[in-house]
Amino acid sequence: MVSGHCRISIAMTTFNGAKFVLEQLRSFARQERPPDELIVCDDGSSDDTVAIIKEFGRQSRFPVHVHLNPQRLGFTGNFSQAASLCSGDLVSFSDQDDYWLPNKLSTVLAEATRHISKQLFINDEIIASGKLEASKATAFGNARKLGCADSDLVAGCCTTIRKSLLNVLLPFPATMAYDKWAATMADFVGLKQLIEEPLQLYRRHDRNATRSLLALPSPTQWTVFRHHGISDPRAAWEAEIEHLGVFETRIRSCREQIDTLAGPEAGDTAIERIVREKQWLMTRRQLLDRSRFRRFPEIYRLWRTGFYQQRYGLRSAVKDAVRR
């Protein structure tokens, strides 16, 4: 459902967010198209977070439901719970410390109406300071400047999911961040849609739950190379291979639902892509077990076969040559 009767839920998680949460709540109240409900799951805050949210709820023009976790669920588990409690046709995910621009929900709804075949939407965001002072940088702009493909764009606080896909995604696996799980799954089955317009401020401060080079005001290729280009990636690749196995398992178990949402054989196509990506990572993982000198002939051979052209081309080949 994507008409004017479409219900929109906000799924928000909190943990000791009293310093910033009221500004985020007020940005919800200023939406041109208000949400139909706000679901908040608090993960054991010891500050005034819950009291602030409940006071806001008493004055809100839309329902605010606060759920207190009896035990800590963690980042992904808490978002999984919040999403499962939402009743909307569209579910927008929110952190506790950002700030939504007034046209956030109205724009997302318009895009969902325009792109009826898509199930997951990620909007751009403006990188801001702890005081919400906007920079000239955006998350999409930074990612593309650093050479990231659009298929790699992931931002949980900018994500909205149709309930029909959410039913496939839930429960979120505990082995990876919920935003990576949702965005990557949607990309595998061709259901992800980017919204190029920045619709919120991404507040960066010393207590952010996640850290990313993409959130820097002016990241460079050298910044990325210095952090990741020459370090040993084998442990990360092994984790990624395990993640790909989780995607494959869920797709196989929900193939009928996925094919209904994404079209005939969408599940099979996604599994074929996952198998290729696993093989790509395993080949590179084995390559790094060799000394640098012994890698060069194999890197050259792989280049000649088009192996590196699958993803990032020369950049990947150079990294494999110089890494420790």
Residue 155 has pLDDT above 70, yes or no: yes
What's the confidence (pLDDT) of residue 223?
56
State pLDDT tens for residues 200-253: 999 986 554 555 545 555 655 555 545 545 678 999 999 999 999 999 999 999
What's the confidence (pLDDT) of residue 212?
54
Q: Residue 87 has which token pair?
A: 């009743």
Q: Residue 272 has which token pair?
A: 């074929």
What's the confidence (pLDDT) of residue 214?
53
Radius of gyration of the chain (CA): 21
The answer to whether the CB of 201 falls within 8 A of the CB of 99 is: yes
State pLDDT tens for residues 158-195: 999 999 999 999 999 999 999 999 999 999 999 999 99
Mark 222-245 as b/e (b = at least 16 C-beta within 10 Å).
eebbeeebeeebbeebeebbebbe
Mean pLDDT throughout 288-299? 91
What's the confidence (pLDDT) of residue 225?
45
| Mean pLDDT value across the chain | 92
What's the confidence (pLDDT) of residue 7?
98
Mean pLDDT throughout 49-66? 98
pTM, two decimal places: 0.89
Q: Where does residue 92 fall: left (phi above 0), alpha (psi -120 to 50 degrees), or beta otherwise?
A: beta
What's the confidence (pLDDT) of residue 1?
46
| 3-class DSSP state of 120 | strand
Q: Which domains does the chain have, with CATH numbers?
A: 8-210 (3.90.550.10), 227-322 (no CATH)
Mean pLDDT throughout 101-123? 98
Q: Which backbone phi and psi does 161 adopt, to 5 degrees?
A: -130, 135
Mean pLDDT throughout 139-148? 91
Mark 84-99 as b/e (b = at least 16 C-beta within 10 Å).
bebebbbbbbbbbbbb
Mean pLDDT throughout 66-88? 97
